[in-house]
Amino acid sequence: MQRHLIPVWFFVGLLLAVYGVLIAASGIAELGQPAKTVLAELHAPVWWGALLAVVGGIYCVVFRPRG
Amino acid sequence: MNIIALKSVDLAIIALYFVAVLAIGFYLKRFATSGQDFFLAGREMTAWVAGLSFLSANLGSLELLGWAGSAYQYGILAAHWYWIGAIPAMVFLGIVMMPFYYISKTHSVPGYLQLRFGNGASGLSAITFAVMTILMSGVNMYAMAVVMKVMLGWNIHFSIWVSSLTVGIYVAAGGLYSAIFNEVLQFFLIWFGALLIPVFGLIETGGWSGMVARIQSNFPGQDFTHLWSTLGNAQDNPMGMHWTGIVFGLGAVLSMGYWTTDFLVVQRVLSAKDIRSAKMAPIIGSFFKMAVPLIVILPGVLGLAVLPEKLVPESALQAGQHSYNEVLPLMLARYMGPGLLGLGVTALVAGFMAGMAGNVSAFATVWTYDIYRPYIRRQAADAHYVSMGRWCTVIGLFISIATAYVAMGFASIMDYVQALFSFFIAPLFGTVLLGMLWKRATGPGGFWGLLAGVGSSVAMFFWVKLNPGALAIIALSDHAKPLAEDMYRALWSCLINVIVTVVVSLATQPKPLSELKGLVMGVTDIPKEQNVPLLHKPAFWAAVSIAILAILQWIFW
């Protein structure tokens, strides 16, 4: 039987991209009133979420299921 | 009171993870139809997938919580378990041992022993591995329940049952395919979920020197930030360890035993698509293993510098206090706001579930191929064994739930785990190594050596429990903490195993050389790599890995 296993990297990319969008959106929504955590002024959710979305997006495109 | 309260975005991230792993499990079910598919993921994994899975199978909840807790308790000494206690062994597995595992086409480590030594050593190792695996799975569940209780206030039983059933469903569906896919997924989640903790910790303390100054201020007179310089005398370091315990007990025996003979991790490498991938997989894993202290050990050490309260052992916990094992969740709550907190908690949950999945998939393989097939039902269709693998995945989970509470009686999770390793894994290393490297080793030698090694390890454990004065004999110091004791017990039990194996082998009839082909060095043709470019040679990357390890020792001496 010919196998057409979707690469695990595609699943990784998909999950990271979705997480990145969620985290960045939540960071942007809270820009006005950051969480009461240490170093909250660095707004990590915004840039870390964006990084996740970009890395995830690249993985999704490069390892997308083919024919 | 909970450390933090999750917001809706955090809960959405956690829920998405559960949906994703179940979806992947159901997607992979169609590919897990034969025994080779279900138990060895079709033997079609690339070196990178096998390597990350090999590492992630070990990067479960114990690594994240237990070692972060140990780093708070013992300082950077805990990094020995990632460096000298892992890298040489991973490289040794890739370069020396993997060819024999792979060429023999074995499905498991007990399967190799069956080919090399016969039923005695194989049956004994299969049974001890099955017991250890189920107990380890229980430790995973306990660790998960602790995090859920501390961070989220979730009911301990709810956490155990939801995660266990999820793992049970996806492993029973896709077998090792599911376990490997989710381990790779977990690898990324852990890095992205935990990497900000050390980054923010070092920003807060003003870098490494600022962190060291704060620790010295919080804990005057104690050294938590040197790897080797305090190991000359057991009284000079928080672990009560002498360097011989680290070098010989951990580096030469326990880590070699774990990384080269614990089927939980070796199974991932056996899924590689060819022998070069199988050799490269542990070496790829070694580079990432060297980096893991950044997200596990460093947060624990940073906890000594920045946490306003002093953490205590689990056994001394009182209301309002937190234990060593809670240092990572506390650091997570310190720096992570909504969204990132959900990602961090998901990383921990992923670690728990990957750890459980690793244990149950390895248990299912060893039970089905090394206990059920040789001793209970020899001749059956392949589909029957796949069905048995699926059933014992579920049954194994239920048994391990029952063992979860055993872990609660120990001061540190890792103490418990190391005790188990030293019972079973350290002696096994002696048997497998002699089997691969010494043609004269015989079946009776392998069996009696392994039995003597396991028996002596258990006996030493109870000797110290019943007579604490024996600690000075076993661990060479009455200041030795449980981790140090485990290192020496591993060393002695492995030596006893080797001595008994050699003596019995010399007194019994060896196997003809023709029967050792593909199993033992000297009578096995290992494919040469003369025409392979340097950058594709496992030996080259093994050398690079060892060189980086040496540099790290020098930096943190």
For residue A67, what pLDDT band results from cuts at 50, 70 and 90? Answer: low
* Mean model confidence pLDDT for chain B: 87
Who among A6, A23, A38 is closest to B340 (CB)?
A23
How many angstroms separate the CA atoms of B120 and B450, rounded? Answer: 10
Higher pLDDT, B508 or B231: B508
For chain B, helix (H) and strand (E) counts, in that order, are 26, 0
User: Taking CB atoms and an 8 Å cutoff, what residues of chain B touch A26?
Assistant: 7, 9, 338-339
Cβ of A22 within 8 Å of Cβ of B180? The answer is no
- On the 0-12 / 13-18 / 19+ scale of CB atoms within 10 A, A1 is exposed
Who among A8, A14, A23 is closest to B181 (CB)?
A8
- pLDDT, tens digit, for every residue of B62-82? 678 889 999 999 999 999 999
The phi and psi torsions of B323 (rounded to 5 degrees) equal -90, 170
Cβ of B185 within 8 Å of Cβ of A49? The answer is no
Q: What is the pLDDT of residue B1?
A: 60
State whether residue B272 is helix, strand or coil: strand
Q: Which architecture does CATH list for B8-409? A: Up-down Bundle (1.20)
Who among B16, B204, B333 is closest to A39 (CB)?
B204
For residue B525, what pLDDT band results from cuts at 50, 70 and 90? Answer: confident
User: Taking CB atoms and an 8 Å cutoff, what residues of chain B touch A40?
Assistant: 337
Looking at residues B109-125, what average pLDDT do you find?
91
Mutation for B interface: A10, A36, A39, most B CBs within 10 A: A39
Range of the domain at A52: 8-62
Is residue A26 in a domain? yes
Q: What is the pLDDT of residue B417?
A: 64
Is residue A39 in a domain? yes
Is residue A3 in a domain? no
Higher pLDDT, A13 or B40: A13
For residue B426, what pLDDT band results from cuts at 50, 70 and 90? Answer: confident
Query: Taking the domains of chain B in order of start, what are their residue ranges?
Result: 8-409
Q: Do the beta carbons of residue A53 and residue A24 sit within 8 Å?
A: yes
Does the pLDDT value for residue B412 go beyond 60? no
Please give the share of chain A, as a percent, with pLDDT higher than 90: 67
Residue B393, token pair as written in the block: 């995945």
Handedness of CA B36, B39, B41, B47 (dihedral sign): negative
For residue B498, what pLDDT band results from cuts at 50, 70 and 90? Answer: very high
Q: Do the beta carbons of residue B88 and residue B259 sit within 8 Å?
A: no
Looking at residues B105-127, what average pLDDT do you find?
90
How many angstroms separate the CA atoms of A48 and B479, rounded? Answer: 45
- pLDDT, tens digit, for every residue of B427-480? 888 999 999 999 999 999 999 999 999 999 989 988 988 888 888 888 887 777
- On the 0-12 / 13-18 / 19+ scale of CB atoms within 10 A, B556 is middle
**Whether A26 contacts chain B with CB within 8 A:** yes
Is residue A54 in a domain? yes
- pLDDT, tens digit, for every residue of B139-195? 777 777 776 777 778 887 888 888 888 888 989 888 889 989 988 998 999 999 999
Is residue A67 in a domain? no
Q: What is the pLDDT of residue B421?
A: 65
Distance from CA of A19 to the nearest CA of B (A): 7
Does the pLDDT value for residue B237 go beyond 70? yes
Higher pLDDT, B318 or B410: B318
Residue B223, token pair as written in the block: 């050294």
In Å, what is the CA distance from B359 to each residue of B42, B89, B191, B238?
19, 20, 22, 31
* Top-ranked range on mean pLDDT: pick from B58-67, B258-267, B298-307, B399-408: B298-307
Distance from CA of A17 to the nearest CA of B (A): 12
Cβ of B338 within 8 Å of Cβ of A40? The answer is no
Q: What is the pLDDT of residue A60?
A: 95
Who among A5, A48, A49 is closest to B31 (CB)?
A5
Q: What is the pLDDT of residue B289?
A: 94
Question: Which residue does chain A place closest to B28, by CA atoms?
Answer: A5
* Top-ranked range on mean pLDDT: pick from B4-13, B139-148, B272-281: B272-281
What is the number of domains present in chain A?
A: 1
Residue with tokens 């069905």: B387
Cβ of B24 within 8 Å of Cβ of A15? The answer is no
Does the pLDDT value for residue B236 go beyond 90? no
Residues with Cβ < 8 Å from B412, sequence gap 6 or more? B66, B69, B70, B73, B313, B314, B324, B325, B482, B483
**Whether A66 contacts chain B with CB within 8 A:** no
Mutation for B interface: A37, A47, A60, most B CBs within 10 A: A37
**Whether A45 contacts chain B with CB within 8 A:** yes
Q: Do the beta carbons of residue A46 and residue A27 sit within 8 Å?
A: yes
Q: Where are the beta strands (DSSP E) in B49-185?
A: none
Is residue A30 in a domain? yes
User: Taking CB atoms and an 8 Å cutoff, what residues of chain A touch B188?
Assistant: 12, 15-16
Q: What is the pLDDT of residue B113?
A: 92
Looking at residues A4-26, what average pLDDT do you find?
94
Cβ of A45 within 8 Å of Cβ of B337? The answer is yes
Interface size, chain A vs chain B, as Cβ–Cβ contacts under 8 Å = 90
Lowest-pLDDT choice from B140-149, B308-317, B394-403: B140-149
Q: What is the pLDDT of residue B410?
A: 57
Other Cβ atoms within 10 Å of B321 Cβ, number: 12
For residue A1, what pLDDT band results from cuts at 50, 70 and 90? Answer: very low
**Whether B184 contacts chain A with CB within 8 A:** yes
**Whether A16 contacts chain B with CB within 8 A:** yes
Which string of DSSP letters, residue by residue, matches B390-445? HHHHHHHHHHHHHHGGGGGGSSSHHHHHHHHHHHHHHHHHHHHHHHHH-TT--HHH
How many angstroms separate the CA atoms of B489 and B475, rounded? Answer: 7
